[in-house]
Amino acid sequence: MKFIPHILLVLILIGCSSTPRFTNESDSDGSRIKYPTGTTIFNGTASYYADEFHGRKTASGEIYDMNKLTAAHRNFPFGTVVKVTNLKNNKIVKVRINDRMPDFKNRIIDLSYGAAKEIDMIRDGIVEVRIEVIEWGK
C-alpha cells in the first residue's frame, strides 16, 4: 500500500510529459513519413523555382536566394537537410528546407535554382528524384 502514492506520481508525470513533435503520418501521395527516427526516403517528382521569387521572404522568414542550396517541402520542418538524387543522371545535391511549396499533386519537393543546377535539371524543369533525410530540423 505504501507504493501507491509513488505509482500515482509516476502516472501523473507520464501523463504530463510532452509528446513527440512529429508523428508517423501519411503524405498526400500516400507514402509514409517517419519523424524523426529511422531513415526516410521518398521517390517522386521535383520542380524548381528561380528568379520570380528571388529576394522575397520564404515561409521560414528567410529571404529566398535562388543561388543557394535550399528547397521547399509541404511539411518537413524548416532546417531539415535532405539529399536529393536526380534519378535520370544520379547527380546529388544536399539542400536545407526553408520554404513551403504549393500542393502540387505529384511533386514532392521544389528546389532552388542553385540546387536544380547542381543536379542538372534546369533544361528538363521537372525530374524524378529520390529524397533522403540527412538531418531533421526543429
Question: What are the structural domain ranges in the chain?
Answer: 40-135
Between residues 22 and 70, which one has the greater pLDDT? 70
pLDDT of residue 58: 93
What cell does 66 get?
Answer: 535562388
pTM more than 0.75: no
Distances in Å between the Cα of 116 and the Cα atoms of 9, 85, 91, 126, 130 are 54, 10, 10, 9, 14
Q: Is the pLDDT of residue 55 over 50?
A: yes
Q: How many angstroms separate the CA atoms of 112 and 31, rounded?
A: 24
Residue showing cell 536544380: 116
User: Homologous superfamily of 40-135 in CATH?
Assistant: RlpA-like domain (2.40.40.10)
121 phi/psi in degrees, rounded to 5:
-120, 5
